[in-house]
Amino acid sequence: MLVVALTVAALLAPPASRLFAVGVGAGLGRGEGVGDPTPAPVGASRLRAADDPVPAIARTWPVGVRPRVLRGWEPPATVYGPGHRGVDLAAPPGTPVRAVADGRVSFAGRVAGKGVVSVELTGTGDPPLRTTYEPVRASVPRGAEVEAGEVIGTVEAGGSHCTAPCVHWGLLRGDAYLDPLSLLPPWLLQRGPSRLLPVLGVPLP
């Protein structure tokens, strides 16, 4: 009888992969940063979200030329653990915020009193990558198609968890948070201030 009971229990129990998926979906999104209010797809795509490579398709930083990173991406050790699900870029209020790559605005509004803009990136798989920016006053409506470098809003005063004025930049695939800096190709990630170079031996003034 014991063997029969254990066999029935095993057959009725949900697969471990399903339990993992529910745990990830329920936990991610807590912690610093509002994240993205757009519902994530359900199914196998959620499980492979964190394993899919992030293509370096960004053509610009969200703010400035090469802004100072006040705090980097710190994935939590556990689903409910502390961490930093994005990066904080130094940016005073009023700074234009740009889409880093081509995409469609999936959300533009307020969440918990903060202005949030989310852009679903074109051609980045299923589920697609989504970038989020906060606190940002949106200048584009939901559903708008945007190009890399296009201004999508401005940094708002207040509403930031930074000790200095900043914009929080996040990246998600499904429910999985990823490092947004991985969107930047090396030439953009490492680019420093422009310098004048001498030409054909002509000295600089």
* Mean pLDDT value across residues 154-172: 88
For residue 204 the two structure tokens come to 């600089």
Using pLDDT thresholds of 50, 70 and 90, give the confidence band for residue 84.
confident
pLDDT at position 79, please?
63
CB 165 within 8 A of CB 176: no
* pTM summary value: 0.70
The more confident residue out of 1 and 177 is 177
Q: How far apart are CA 130 and CA 75, in angstroms?
A: 17
The more confident residue out of 23 and 122 is 122
Q: Apex CA 174: angle with CA 168 and CA 177, to 5°?
A: 40
Using pLDDT thresholds of 50, 70 and 90, give the confidence band for residue 13.
very low
Q: Residue 135, preceding bond cis, omega within 30 degrees?
A: yes
* pLDDT at residue 140 tops 70: yes
* pLDDT at residue 172 tops 60: yes
* Mean pLDDT value across residues 176-205: 69
Pairing of strands 176-178, 166-173: antiparallel
The more confident residue out of 136 and 14 is 136
Helices (H) and strands (E) in the chain, counts: 4, 11
Q: How far apart are CA 43 and CA 154, in angstroms?
A: 35
